[in-house]
Amino acid sequence: MTQDISTVRVGLDDRGYDIEIGHRILPDAGARILGRISGLRRAVVISDSNVAPLYAEPLIGSLDAAGVNATLVTVPAGEPSKSVEQATAIWNQLLAERIDRQTTIIALGGGVVGDLAGFIAATFARGLKFVQIPTTLLATVDSSVGGKVGINLPGGKNIVGAFWQPQYVLIDLSLLDSLPVRQGRAGMAEVIKYGVIADAEFFEYIETNVEKIRAHEPGTLKHIVSTCCQIKADVVEEDERETSGRRAILNYGHTFGHAVESATKYEKYLHGEAITMGMQCAASLSVNLKRIDAEMADRQAALFRQFELPVELDAALDSNELLELMRRDKKADQGNIRLVLPTKMGHVELVDNVPDHEILEVL
Amino acid sequence: MTQDISTVRVGLDDRGYDIEIGHRILPDAGARILGRISGLRRAVVISDSNVAPLYAEPLIGSLDAAGVNATLVTVPAGEPSKSVEQATAIWNQLLAERIDRQTTIIALGGGVVGDLAGFIAATFARGLKFVQIPTTLLATVDSSVGGKVGINLPGGKNIVGAFWQPQYVLIDLSLLDSLPVRQGRAGMAEVIKYGVIADAEFFEYIETNVEKIRAHEPGTLKHIVSTCCQIKADVVEEDERETSGRRAILNYGHTFGHAVESATKYEKYLHGEAITMGMQCAASLSVNLKRIDAEMADRQAALFRQFELPVELDAALDSNELLELMRRDKKADQGNIRLVLPTKMGHVELVDNVPDHEILEVL
């Protein structure tokens, strides 16, 4: 099993890198990382209080076996660790340990750890090499690929950050078995997203393989993760820094979803749950704007329901507050809301200037 | 006079930019910036409590006249503003003012303002466009060109930062007339450095034009600033991220100088003064290692003295402490000190593994 590995290349010239996807490959991580970053002698592994007890030891052991001296930095699990205070504590720790430019930062965890560790890598000593080892489904298919890193301010998620590509992404799918069921389902929201925005056949594949996916059947799991990484790699190659609009398609459901997360203080819903509501709002809006028929919106909702994801917008939320939060999204341009709306299964478009009353109608 | 402008191009493919050098061009800044960043409507000017009262109004007026809505952020003058706390305050302010990715950050000030504002530009909303308007001699010839931005931690200068190139650098030499005399002299340390590391003829030009330089004779001032910017641009083009070793030649005198600054808590000496001592240490070491003759070290010292720069190392400093601080420099590799040493006027080399006793000999 160990040798059955899929490789997705993110082709970004001198910033290009491989994503390797397989089962039980964490024990080989040291040698695999060394194969990408030759001469590596020193690494800092950043992880969190949930993941480190499970996987830090085998990772650091494999680094040690490869001749890489690794230090472990563990942060509390959860979104609050993506803070200036936590970043400052790590910067000071790296300084105290005399970490220099020859050191590689390795993120071992979900999206929070990847975003925080990547921000540290992007900024310490003006930039260190970086490796991602995602441990949640959401991170494997989304945040570990593409180089978006960052931290939050009290009033804005991911508002401080950078584009900082890793040198290598190692995805050991067997780590996902330890994931809480709710987290696994939330990750499926992003997986389904890729079908809707870019690949109608993939959407159909998910529809016909729900049971295998839920059972983590190895071949099926590898296929869905590889397909998502490939779609994301293609989009990132075309528009690394989200300037042309192409990369923005990945934000399908996210402008609505971020407003839901913000209005509920990032406590009530997981990211995947919030963007499920967001994607369903976007689909309903598209139906109202006659961009798609109701059947497509229903088909999307039906697949979300297969993974027990919340398709109905939380009724406790105030429509006007959500609209205001959408206007403040950092992807807004001078307060104009830019939405990603589907036109058919497997295709979305960027739409500016949707009238407020149309947005309010679906909130 | 206004139209007599020198342009130095920093050729970095899609990150390339122009440096424009002239007298009394600040009143045209708005139109000039708009010429580089088309469609610009919003800017944030970051300045300090010394510079803002002098030059913020004409700059913001010229932006306004060009149709660019500008907000002024003023930080206390001095190195302590290059802190995580100050950066966080600015990030929060930009968030509160709903600054988005279409905004350009303009640094109006010396090296502290440029480094801080550049770090904000590199990290807010994952990166904003950036313009440098340096107001000190040191910043015009050094920190405003080349994209090094960053802030300090209590234990480490510039330890948190990025490489973030500006879109444009505007150098209005008439602003230098308001500079305190001591600051102007300190800037000459970096100017002389360029002669020693890369251009023997330029060193001679400085030697023969001391009086004109001290009098800020316009043509002479423009020649020295343009020459320094051109040398720096050439070096940065060859080695933008300081990976090949080429860019490291700019650090001549800096490993010694940073140790002096650190040992004196950044209070006793200006940067240019500390690196003057550093360059003289490096020259003496080179004499001891028989890389240059004593005549060249004396010639360098004589030129520093013409600008009343301190060529003798502060006798109050402890040699062993300085050596230890040099080892901790972020450019050190696993504790090995890498020194930039001259071999003849206009040429330096990177030298590893100089024995401790040789370094201590010149401290």
Site from B93, B160, B334 to mutate, A interface, most A CB atoms within 10 angstroms: B160
B153, B159, B160, B162 alpha-carbon torsion, rounded to 10°: 160
pLDDT tens for residues B61-113?
999 999 999 999 999 999 899 999 999 999 999 999 989 889 999 999 999 99
> Using CB atoms and an 8 Å cut-off, which of residues 140-169 of chain B contact chain A?
148, 150, 153-156, 158-163
Long-range pairs of A297-305 with CB within 8 A, sequence gap ≥ 24? A299/A345, A300/A192, A300/A196, A303/A192, A303/A203, A303/A206, A303/A207, A303/A210, A304/A189, A304/A192, A304/A276, A304/A279, A304/A280
To test the contact with chain A by mutation, choose from B86, B126, B242, B336 the residue with the greatest count of A C-beta atoms within 10 A, namely B126
Domain at A181-361: CATH code: 1.20.1090.10
Range A185-202 burial, b when 16+ CB lie within 10 A, else e = bbbbbbbbbbbbbbbeeb
Per DSSP (E only), the strands in B129-185 are 129-134, 148-153, 156-163, 168-172
B84 touching chain A per CB within 8 A:
yes
Give the one of A148, A154, A159 whose C-beta lies nearest to B124's C-beta.
Answer: A159
Tokens of B284: 């003496």
Residue ranges of chain B whose pLDDT lies below 50: 1-2
B95/A163 touch (CB, cutoff 8 Å), yes or no? no
Indicate the residue type of A278. Answer: G
- Looking at residue A265, its pLDDT comes to 87
CATH of B6-178, picked from 3.40.50.1970, 3.30.390.10, 3.40.50.300, 1.20.140.10, is 3.40.50.1970
pTM: predicted TM-score of the whole model, two decimal places: 0.94
Per-residue model confidence as pLDDT tens digits over B294-337: 999 999 999 999 999 999 999 999 999 999 999 877 666 667 88
The predicted structure's pLDDT at residue B1: 44
Contact by Cβ (8 Å): A33, A168: yes
Rounded alpha-carbon distances, angstroms, from residue B14 to A235, B11, B167, B234: 20, 9, 10, 16
What does the mean pLDDT of chain A come to? 95
CB contact under 8 A, A126 and B150: yes
Kindly state whether B96 is in contact with chain A, defined as any CB-CB distance less than 8 angstroms: yes
> Where in chain A do CATH 3.40.50.1970 domains reside?
6-178
Which residues, given as ranges, of chain A have pLDDT below 70? 1-3, 330-334
> Residues A190, A138: contact at Cβ < 8 Å?
yes
Separation in Å, CA of A136 to nearest CA in chain B: 24
ipTM of the predicted structure? 0.93
Residue intervals of chain A classified under CATH 1.20.1090.10 are: 181-361
Q: Verify whether the Cβ–Cβ distance A100 to B127 is below 8 Å.
A: no
B126 to A96: CB separation less than 8 angstroms, yes or no: no
Residue ranges of alpha helices (H) inside chain A are 29-36, 52-65, 84-96, 111-123, 137-138, 181-198, 200-208, 210-214, 218-238, 254-263, 271-288, 294-306, 319-328, 356-361
pLDDT at A334: 65
Digit-coded pLDDT (tens) for A69-79: 999 999 999 98
pLDDT at residue A2 in the model? 46
